[in-house]
Amino acid sequence: MIEKRKLTLKDIAKELGISVSTASRALKEHPDIAKDTIRLVKEYAEAHHYVPNFLAVNFRKSRTFNIGLIVPELVHHFFSTVISGAIDEAKKCGYNVLVSQSNDLLKDEIVACRTMLASSVDGLLISISNETLEGDHLSDFISEGKPVIQFDKITDQLDTPKVTVDDFEGAYHAVSHLIDQGYGRIAHLRGRENVKNAKERFEGYRKALSDHEMEFSDNWVKSCIAISEQEGFDFAKELMEGNNPPDAFFCITDLVALGVIKYLKGAGYQIPGQVGVMGFSNWKLAEVVSPGLSSVDQFGYEMGIKSMKLLIELIQNHDLENHETFEIKTKLIVRESSLKRQK
Amino acid sequence: MIEKRKLTLKDIAKELGISVSTASRALKEHPDIAKDTIRLVKEYAEAHHYVPNFLAVNFRKSRTFNIGLIVPELVHHFFSTVISGAIDEAKKCGYNVLVSQSNDLLKDEIVACRTMLASSVDGLLISISNETLEGDHLSDFISEGKPVIQFDKITDQLDTPKVTVDDFEGAYHAVSHLIDQGYGRIAHLRGRENVKNAKERFEGYRKALSDHEMEFSDNWVKSCIAISEQEGFDFAKELMEGNNPPDAFFCITDLVALGVIKYLKGAGYQIPGQVGVMGFSNWKLAEVVSPGLSSVDQFGYEMGIKSMKLLIELIQNHDLENHETFEIKTKLIVRESSLKRQK
DNA sequence: CTGTTAGCGCATTCAG
DNA sequence: CTGAATGCGCTAACAG
């Protein structure tokens, strides 16, 4: 295969006996240029498949139409949904998306940021790792004039626009629903103390309990670290075998709820009826598992679109001052696992 | 926020009273440069946070360290696994990955290719859409000297290296296992006729049947178009209510198998025992559904790594002549749904 | 060991 | 309406 040298503006100019600058302007239909010249140049370019050298254009304009996107984990239903939305929106606006993952490690996140900055993205969309507390690696973007937007998992240490899920309200509705269905001793398998989303969901849980004058006990609240199925299983076992067993579980995420369900089924409890279970995130697994798992949908796709739209706006307006926060509303999806308690 | 103008080589040179080229060479520790000068320049650069302008570097070297990756659908367990592997491998080698999706539409695939080419990726990894038959939009990359690798869903119309799943063997093992377990009237819910993976799996199914001298009937083979749960449900219903019902289903993918399971459970069939079910792809849902769905793991993560590794090799060797095909082996994951048939 | 020079491809200012 | 000239930031061939 012969690598044909690419046609440049200079080639066109020489061939047509005009100057490079005229050729350049003609191609973008500059008002100064005669219609005839424009037609001439455009036809030649078309016929010879002229494609501008974008490396040169971008260098000249110092922008790339590339946007960086970093998530903790790519293989994760919620995040892949967000990415999908972000990419679709970016495509509409002529941007490409550079995707990377931190594996929830600060170290990896910093590396990802560095290589993204190196490859000169025009802006960054990030959902931070569990380990990230401050945002020095992020402010590097800002100081180079590149806007950053945080979504879903955020830190308040860095003043950027944010797009979040309304975790508080989602949790509030979920727990209120369990109460409506007659459950009164509701345990909560929460996430890490230092993660904002986990905190918000916990607060929503607390508020729902107190608004309905329900019993609360510290012993019913367990912190998951890995947010795994195993933790769900283990905590469910611990609580149910304890001397003050709950009659429902509100779980930080569907995966944890799955562990709870597996334990409960294995131990012979009836779901729902005897024990209610509520997840969070509404993954595919929620509709597949048996009994169907009630959960809270987070509209990841919409979140991706919203975040990307916002970022592109900031990029195009050279706006580094905006610090708004947008909350995406959730939706309670009621399936079987949370239905009426048998008295 | 003040946008500080970035420090350039010229600034360093002027400040240190040396020439730009010396500064440039010093920073990359060129052997020609005096140790002292190197130290001097490096220290100054360090102290003043010099960062090369990569837009300029890339322009000069005409490469970007960006790699394009196009899949039919991002929100899809298998593909997100591949992407994850590809990104991890790319990161190791200092490359970034531009991700896009075609939604299985040729039109979208062409647009994605165009914007990737525009943003000057160094190479392309692609799993083509169901609609893609020829590869003109792909050969554009080749003719610009940028290697292309096809993975998983491929077309033979374009001569590039390929990384595929051994669909034939995977299907062969899966169906042989069903036969071992005592099932003898095995239906196959296959994918589209024109999609290579579907064809390979079908062939594996045929071969397993004939090698074991099992009955084959055209009526037991149904083509899914959308590859949806609904199709699984509908075809299962149609076949089981027909006058020659099968005693097992080998499905093109887990989602279709899920539909089959839902129908069978609803209609009162016992799985396994009365009817066996086998999926393909080994998604998360396979281990969550009840009964646990036997399936064929495709090692998406490994496929992503392998494809990316190969592509980077081609890029670095300027190799556009390589047309090897690599097959990733599958692994049969036996769960409950395919176990022994009751005589 | 170091500086000078040239140029990558394009956009743009300034002069006609 | 068009062209010449300049420079973006960096690399590399060439000359000392």
pLDDT (tens digit per residue) in B58-93:
999 989 999 999 999 999 999 999 999 999 999 999
Q: What is the mean predicted confidence (pLDDT) over A97-101?
A: 97
Q: Please identify, in words, the CATH class of the domain defined by A63-163+300-328.
A: alpha beta
Does position B122 have pLDDT exceeding 80, yes or no?
yes
Positive or negative CA dihedral for B311, B313, B316, B318? negative
SS3 A141: helix
Query: Would you place residue A1 in the very low, low, confident or very high pLDDT band (cuts 50, 70, 90)?
Result: very low
A190 forms bridges with which residues in the sheet? A223
Q: Provide the CA A25 to C1' C11 distance, Å, integer.
A: 9
Of A51, A55, A66, the CB nearest to B98: A66
A155 forms bridges with which residues in the sheet? none
Answer for the pair A129, A101: CB distance below 8 angstroms, yes or no: no
What pLDDT is stored for residue A3 in this prediction? 46
Interchain CB distance below 8 Å, B91 and A111? yes
Question: A319 or B166: whose pLDDT is higher?
Answer: B166
Burial of A213 (0-12, 13-18, 19+ CB in 10 A): exposed
Answer for the pair A168, A204: CB distance below 8 angstroms, yes or no: yes
Q: Pairing mode, if any, of strands A331-333 and A295-297?
A: antiparallel
Residues of A (116-145) whose Cβ lies below 8 Å from B: 116, 118-120, 142-145
Question: B285 or B223: whose pLDDT is higher?
Answer: B223
Distance CA B67, CA B81 (A): 17
Q: Tell me the nt nearest to B60, Cα to C1'.
A: C8
Q: What is the mean predicted confidence (pLDDT) over B120-128?
A: 94
Query: Would you place residue A342 in the very low, low, confident or very high pLDDT band (cuts 50, 70, 90)?
Result: confident
DSSP state of B336: S
Radius of gyration for the alpha carbons in chain B, expressed in angstroms and rounded: 27
Does position B323 have pLDDT exceeding 60, yes or no?
yes
Question: A212 or A157: whose pLDDT is higher?
Answer: A212
Residues 29-58 of B with CB under 7 A from strand D: 52-53, 56-57
Distance CA A177, CA B24 (A): 66
* Single-letter amino acid, residue A262: K
Query: Would you place residue A130 in the very low, low, confident or very high pLDDT band (cuts 50, 70, 90)?
Result: confident
Exposure of B302 in the CB half-sphere (CA atoms within 13 A): 11
Residue with tokens 């209510």: B241
Interchain CB distance below 8 Å, B65 and A119? yes
Answer for the pair B64, B50: CB distance below 8 angstroms, yes or no: no
Q: Which of A74, A93, A230 to mutate to test the interface with B (most CBs of B within 10 A)?
A: A74
Residues of B (67-86) whose Cβ lies below 8 Å from A: 73-77, 80-81, 83-84
**Nearest residue on chain B to A139, alpha-carbon basis:** B1
CATH code: domain A167-298+332-338 is 3.40.50.2300
Q: Quick one: which of B93, B309, B119, B79 has its CA closest to A98?
A: B119
Q: Quick one: which of A103, A145, A93, A153 has its CA closest to A124?
A: A145
Exposure of A5 in the CB half-sphere (CA atoms within 13 A): 4
Does position A2 have pLDDT exceeding 70, yes or no?
no
Q: What is the mean predicted confidence (pLDDT) over B94-118?
A: 92
Kindly state the tokens that stand for B30: 């060129």
Residue A202: in which H helix or E strand, if any?
Answer: helix A196-211
Distance CA B74, CA A74 (A): 10
Q: Quick one: which of A87, A91, A115, A88 has its CA closest to A101?
A: A115
Q: What is the mean predicted confidence (pLDDT) over B297-314?
A: 97
Kindly state the tokens that stand for A251: 């779980």
Instruction: Give the other-Cβ count within 10 Å of B317's Cβ.
Output: 11
Kindly state the tokens that stand for A289: 């598992």
pLDDT (tens digit per residue) in B248-293:
999 999 999 999 999 999 999 999 999 999 999 999 889 989 899 9
Give B-chain residues touching A321 at CB under 8 angstroms. Answer: 1
Does position B2 have pLDDT exceeding 60, yes or no?
no
Percent of chain A with pLDDT over 90: 77
pLDDT (tens digit per residue) in B144-180:
889 999 999 998 888 999 999 999 999 999 999 999 9
A69 forms bridges with which residues in the sheet? A99, A125
Distance CA B202, CA B224 (A): 12
Of A4, A76, A116, the CB nearest to B143: A4
Give B-chain residues touching A86 at CB under 8 angstroms. Answer: none
SS3 B123: strand
A148 forms bridges with which residues in the sheet? A124
Q: Look up the protein residue whose alpha carbon has the minimum distance to the C1' of D2.
A: A22
Backbone angles phi, psi at B7, to 5 degrees: -65, 135
Q: Look up the protein residue whose alpha carbon has the minimum distance to the C1' of D4.
A: A19
What pLDDT is stored for residue A5 in this prediction? 62
Q: Provide the CA A153 to C1' D8 distance, Å, integer.
A: 38
Residues 187-226 of A with CB under 7 A from strand D: none
Q: What is the mean predicted confidence (pLDDT) over A45-61?
A: 91
Residues of A (161-220) whose Cβ lies below 8 Å from B: none
Interchain CB distance below 8 Å, A98 and B94? no
What pLDDT is stored for residue B322 in this prediction? 87
Interchain CB distance below 8 Å, A97 and B101? no
SS3 A252: coil
The per-residue b/e assignment along A44-55, b for 16 or more CB within 10 angstroms, e otherwise, is: bbeeeebebebb
Does position B120 have pLDDT exceeding 90, yes or no?
no
**Nearest residue on chain A to B2, alpha-carbon basis:** A143
Instruction: List protein-proximal bases of chain D (any atom < 7 A from a CB).
Output: 1-5, 7-13
Give B-chain residues touching A66 at CB under 8 angstroms. Answer: 66, 98, 119
Distance CA A231, CA A228 (A): 5
What pLDDT is stored for residue A115 in this prediction? 86
Give A-chain residues touching B3 at CB under 8 angstroms. Answer: 144-145
Domain boundaries, chain A: 9-52, 63-163+300-328, 167-298+332-338
What pLDDT is stored for residue B343 in this prediction? 66
Burial of A313 (0-12, 13-18, 19+ CB in 10 A): middle
Residues 28-67 of B with CB under 7 A from strand C: 30, 32-37, 59-60
Q: What is the mean predicted confidence (pLDDT) over B310-329?
A: 92
Instruction: Give the other-Cβ count within 10 Å of B97's Cβ.
Output: 23
Residues of A (231-260) whose Cβ lies below 8 Å from B: 258
Of A62, A75, A143, the CB nearest to B84: A75
Of B1, B66, B116, the CB nearest to A142: B1
Does position B5 have pLDDT exceeding 70, yes or no?
no
What pLDDT is stored for residue B1 in this prediction? 37
Does position B4 have pLDDT exceeding 70, yes or no?
no
Residues of A (274-313) whose Cβ lies below 8 Å from B: 284-285, 288-290
Percent of chain A with pLDDT over 70: 98
Q: Is the CB of A34 under 7 A from strand D?
A: yes
Does position B95 have pLDDT exceeding 60, yes or no?
yes
DSSP state of B313: H
Q: Tell me the nt nearest to A12, Cα to C1'.
A: C9
Interchain CB distance below 8 Å, B120 and A77? no
Interchain CB distance below 8 Å, A1 and B96? no
Answer for the pair A337, A261: CB distance below 8 angstroms, yes or no: yes
Distance CA A191, CA B19 (A): 56
Q: Look up the protein residue whose alpha carbon has the minimum distance to the C1' of C9.
A: A56
Answer for the pair B58, B277: CB distance below 8 angstroms, yes or no: no
Q: Is the CB of A61 under 7 A from strand C?
A: yes
What pLDDT is stored for residue B130 in this prediction? 85
Positive or negative CA dihedral for B160, B105, B330, B82? positive
pLDDT (tens digit per residue) in A245-256:
999 999 999 999
What pLDDT is stored for residue B78 in this prediction? 93
Q: Is the CB of B9 under 7 A from strand D?
A: yes
Q: Which of B2, B62, B80, B228 to mutate to test the interface with A (most CBs of A within 10 A)?
A: B80
Same fold: A63-163+300-328 with A167-298+332-338: yes
